Amino acid sequence: LINEIKKKKKKIWFFFSSSSHIYKYSKNSIKENFVKKPISYYGRTKLLAEKKIINNKNANFKFCIGRIFSMYHKNQKKPFLFPSIKARIQSNSKDKLFIKNAFSKRDFLNAEEVVEIIFKIYKKKLKGIYNIGSGKGTTIEKFVRKQFKVKKEIISDNKINSLVSNNKKLIDKIYE
């Protein structure tokens, strides 16, 4: 795609949808310049794509990379968190519900909110790298209780980590 864009004579603005999974886990909210240490194969491929885009030296090519944090939607399919939890709740008749990393913090945004933010980015033709998130950390356990009205006891492994956006840079640009 980048090679084809390079062939164009007119100016191109390109948006790349990346992920928070390129970052190392952190107890603090994560800024765009935070340590890149992908936590999955998905994160590694997103970071590789970002590097290809950033290293493209073409005066006609302007880009924006949006690092989306935890996006969810009622119509998502497995293996995403939202549908996976929903299926587990529906199939589990026990008093307890096991959720891996339940006490880890994530930065959740509904897909419609993500689309609205990307549209604002598009209208301003922002350039550079921006985190797309709420800026608020919520444990997976609290997210599940709120979204699915779960009353069962939630149990988890002892793995606790955090991926929460510092979205000040984006907010400052969108509303300037």
pLDDT in tens, 29-38: 999 999 999 9
Sign of torsion over alpha carbons 35, 104, 171, 44: positive
- Give residue-wise pLDDT tens across range 1-24: 888 887 888 888 999 999 999 999
pLDDT of residue 104: 97
pLDDT in tens, 34-81: 999 998 999 999 999 999 999 987 878 899 999 999 999 999 999 888
Predicted TM-score (pTM) of this structure: 0.93
Average pLDDT, the chain: 94
Q: Both ends of the chain: CA-CA distance in Å?
A: 32
